[in-house]
Amino acid sequence: MIRARPIARPAELRLLAWVAAFSLAGYVAVVAAVSGRFAWYEIAVPAAVLAVFAALHLFLVFIGFRGDQLLMPLAVGLTGIGFILVERLAPALVLQQLSWLVIAAGAFCITILIPRDVSVLARYKYTWALLGILLLISPLLPLVGREINGARIWVGVAGVAQFEPWELVKLALVIFFAAYLEEYREVLSTPPRRLGPVPVPPIPYLLPIVAMWLVAMLVMVLEKDLGATLLFFGIFLAMLYLATGEPFYVVIGLAMLIGGGFVAYHAFAHVAARVDVWLAPFGSDLRFDQAYQLTQGLFSLANAGILGAGLGNGMPERIPVVWSDFVFDAFTEEVGFVGALALLALYLVFAYRGMLIALRAPTVFLQLLAAGLSFIVAFQTLVIVGGNAKLIPLTGITLPFVAYGGSSLVTNFMLCALLLRVSDITARVRR
Amino acid sequence: MEITFAAILWGVRIAFLVLLYLFLIRAFRALHRALAEERVAVAARQLGIAVLVVTRSHAGGPRVGDRLPLRAISSVGRDAGNDVVLNDEAASAKHAIVSFADGEWWLEDAGSTNGTLLNGSRVWDRERLHYGDEVAVGRIALRLEREQ
C-alpha cells in the first residue's frame, strides 16, 4: 500500500479550497450574527478544522494514493457545514466535536493504510457477521448498555464516554453482505419456480432473508430503534437485489417489513407512538408532548422560504436536541430552499460517485462493497430528511457527516476511506 | 456603524451560499469529467481486445506485420464499411465475421464468393478460433493474436 513517491492530487486540492472558502464564510456569519461582533481569534476553530482537512489531503498525497479525488472534498465539505451548524446550535459542544474530528481523521488514515488488500476482508466474512451481531446486541447487555431518550442503542461507562455501536455495525454488515452475496450470488439468482405469475422460491433461498428480518425485528422491539431497523434491512435488500437482480426478493422483503411493522404498531407502544406522531403531530394530545420536537421542526421548515432567515438569524434553538436530530430543519430555516437544495445535491454527488466507483471495481466483492457503502449514505440521508420533513416516521438516524455526534463522524470517515480504497485498487488494476 | 455591521453580515451570509454553490458546480463538473472519461475508456476497451496480424499480403493490400484491431463483433471484407478492411480483388465486399462470445473467438464466412480458410481448410459453419490460428481471405493471410 505505501508507495514511496508522492502523487499530486490537484483536483482534490482545488475542491478543498472551495470547501475552505464556504466553511469560513459560514462560520464567520454564524459567530457574527449570534454575538453581534467578530473577533479575529474566533477564527481558530474553523482554522483547526480546515487544518485537519489539509492534513488528510497531504496524507493521501504523500502515500502516493491513486484513488478518487472527488469523494474526500465532498465528505469534508459536508463536515464543514456540520461544524457551522454545531457552532450555531450547540456552541458548547464545538471543542468536543473537534476532538471527534481528529479521531475520525485518524480512523480515516488507519482505514487507508491497514488492510493491505481490501479483498482480504472477504475472507473473514463470518467474523464480520459475528462482530456485527455482537455490536448490535451490546446495548442490551447489563453493565455497559445505556438507554438514552427512549432508545437503548448506546454503550458506555456512565459519565465518561458513550458510543453508538450501531454506527460500526453498518460497516461490519456491509462487508459481510458483500462477501456472502459474492459467494452465493449464483445460487440465489437461479430463477425460481413459478406458479402462474407468482414466483415460488424454494425454501432454502428464503432462509437468509428470514434470518435478517428476525434480527431487524429484534432490534426494533428490544432496542426501540426504528432507524437501525430500516437501515439494516434496507441495506440487506438493496445489496441482495444488486447481487441477484431478482425483484421478487425485494417484494418479499418489503412485504415482510410492512407486515412486521403492522404487528409492532399494534403490539408495542414505542412503535405506535412514532407512527401517531408522524400521522398527526398537531393533534391536541401530542403537539406539546411527544410531537413537540417534530412540530417545532416543521415550524422551522415553514419559516425558511427561498433564501431563509440568514445564518444565525433563525430560531432553530426552539427544537429540542436540534444539533443531532434536526440539523436539516435548522440548516433549511437559516439558508432556505436554496441552501437545502445544495446540501441534498452534495449527498447526491457523493452517492453517485460511490456508485460509479462500484461500477468500475474489478471484482464482485469490491463492487458490492462500494455499492453498499454508497447506499448507506444515500439511504440515511433519505430517512432522516424524510423524517425531519414529516414524509416518513421520524427515526434516530443521523445526517451523515453533518449532524453532531462522535460515533457517526468516525464511522462515516471510515466509510469514505473504504470507498477510496476500492477506487485506488481500480486505478491500479486499470493501469 | 450598526448598519455597516449588518450589511457586512448579510454580505458574508450571501457569500456562504454563493461559495457553497461554486463548490457544488465544481463537484458536478468533476463528476461529469469522470463520466466522459469513462465513455472514452469503454470505447477503447471495445476496440483492441485482440488483433489480426497480417502474415501474407500483396502489393496494394495491407502490409505484412500490420495489426488490425478487433471489436467484440467485427466484419471482415473489401468494403470500406467493414471493421477490418482488406483491399484484395479476391475478397468479397462482406467476406467473414470474427466474433467474441462465451469467452471464445469464433470465425464464420459471411457468404463470400471465394470462401474463407481457417488453417488451410474451408470454413462452412461457425468455427472456433484460437490465438495463433491463421485465417486466409483471398490472397491475404491473418493471424489472431492477443492485444499487448
The pLDDT assigned to A213 comes to 82
Interface test with A, best of B2, B16, B26 (most A CBs within 10 A): B16
Determine contact, residues A416/A72, Cβ cutoff 8 Å.
Answer: yes
- At residue B21, the pLDDT reads 94
Minimum CA–CA partner of A356 in chain B: B35
* Distance between CA atoms of residues B102 and A41, nearest Å: 68
| pLDDT classification of A75: cutoffs 50, 70, 90 | very high
Sequence-ordered list of residues with C-beta below 8 angstroms from that of A44, at least 6 positions apart, any chain: none
Q: Residue B141 forms beta bridges with which residues?
A: B56, B136
Mean pLDDT of B85-94: 87
pLDDT of residue A320: 87
> What ipTM describes this predicted complex?
0.82
> In this structure, are residues B97 and B118 in contact, taking their beta carbons and an 8 Å threshold?
no
B44 has a pLDDT exceeding 60? no
Can you list the positions of beta strands (E) in A171-225? 193-195, 198-200
Total H helices, total E strands in chain B: 1, 11
Q: Is A414 exposed, middle or buried (0-12, 13-18, 19+ CB in 10 A)?
A: buried
Give the number of other Cβ atoms within 10 Å of residue A271's Cβ. Answer: 22
What is the 3-state composition of chain A as percent helix, strand, coil, each rounded to the nearest 5?
70, 5, 25
More confident residue, A98 or B60: A98
B124 interfacial to chain A (CB closer than 8 Å): no
- Parallel, antiparallel, or unpaired for β B50-56 and B84-85? unpaired
Residue of B nearest to A15 (CA): B23
Alpha helices in B47-69 (DSSP H): none
pLDDT over 60 (residue B45): no
pLDDT of residue A151: 64
Q: What is the pLDDT of residue A135?
A: 82
Distances (CA, A) of B38 to A257, A345, B42: 38, 22, 6
Residue A202's pLDDT band, with cuts at 50, 70 and 90, is low
Instruction: Indicate yes or no: CB of B24 within 8 angstroms of CB of A356.
Output: no
What does pLDDT average to over chain A? 86
CA distances to A56, A60, A173, A275, B4 from A73, rounded to whole Å, are 10, 12, 26, 37, 34
Is the model's pLDDT at A150 over the cut of 70?
Answer: no
Place of cell 404487528: A263
Considering only CB atoms, A345 lies closest to which of B5, B24, B41, namely B24
3-class SS of residue A154: strand
The pLDDT, as a whole number, for residue A218 is: 81
Judging by beta carbons within 10 Å of its beta carbon (0-12, 13-18, 19+), is residue A34 exposed, middle or buried? middle
Please answer yes or no on whether B28 and A11 come within 8 Å at the CB atom. no
Residue type, A222: L
Strand B84-85 to strand B73-77: parallel, antiparallel, or no bridges (unpaired)? parallel
Q: Band the pLDDT of A354: cuts 50, 70, 90.
A: very high
**Cell output for A66:** 491513486
Using the 8-state DSSP alphabet, how is residue B62 labeled?
P
Render pLDDT for A274-305 as a digit per residue (tens, 0 to 9).
888 899 899 888 888 888 999 999 999 998 98
pLDDT band at A45 (very low <50, low <70, confident <90, very high): very high
